[in-house]
Structure 1
């Protein structure tokens, strides 16, 4: 039986490759709106962060999400990400 390929993505905090299902996606839509995408299916450019507070803090401090999405990310997006990680 053929094994199914697992999509891998890089976390913007720890910079490790992990399965896509283990990460939270932040997406910039074609209109330029930035939002948290829990389904992983919204259209637009995506950046990924582990479900881990330390990784989120590293990504925030180094402004990696800003660089990957090529835009300034509002503080409300970071607070929503923190809530999602804490509630997991």
Structure 2
């Protein structure tokens, strides 16, 4: 017997989406910038951690640690240049 198909609420119907739309454009931009800043920081930190794991012998090293550290530095520099300083506490 087939179960009836249940419809998921549309993304725009969620309480979070409704709250987002009540924010001003400047507030949305500030939150988006802070989210991007945090995401870039996480990427850079993960690249550093992976490089450390390679150097420690936990992962096979094929020249990766230096490349990962370069990637981390580029992410941090690009983030700093493109997004600018931290904007409050999102």
| TM-score bracket, shorter-length normalisation | under 0.3
**Structure having the larger proportion of residues in helix:** 2
TM-score for both structures, normalised by structure 2: 0.23
**Structure having the larger proportion of residues in strand:** 1
Higher relative contact order (CA 8 A, sep 6+): 2
